[in-house]
Amino acid sequence: MPEKALGGTLVSVDDEGFMTDPKQWNEAIARAIATEFDIELTDRHFMVINFMRQEAAANGKVPSLRKVKNESGVGTKELFQLFPKGPAKKAAKISGLGKPEGCI
Tell me, yes or no, whether 89 lies in a domain.
Answer: yes
Tell me, yes or no, whether 102 lies in a domain.
Answer: no
**pLDDT (average), residues 84-94:** 95
Q: Which residues are catalytic?
A: 103
The mean-pLDDT minimum among 8-12, 41-45, 75-79, 81-85 falls in 8-12
Does residue 104 carry a pLDDT above 80? no
**DSSP 8-state assignment for residue 13:** B
Cα-based distances in Å from 96 to 8, 47, 77: 15, 14, 23
Domain range enclosing 33: 3-94
Helical segments of the chain, H only: 27-36, 43-59, 65-71, 76-82, 87-94
CB 94 within 8 A of CB 101: no
> Backbone phi, then psi, for 16, in 5-degree steps?
-100, 0
Tell me, yes or no, whether 32 lies in a domain.
Answer: yes
Total domain count for the chain?
1
Tell me, yes or no, whether 103 lies in a domain.
Answer: no
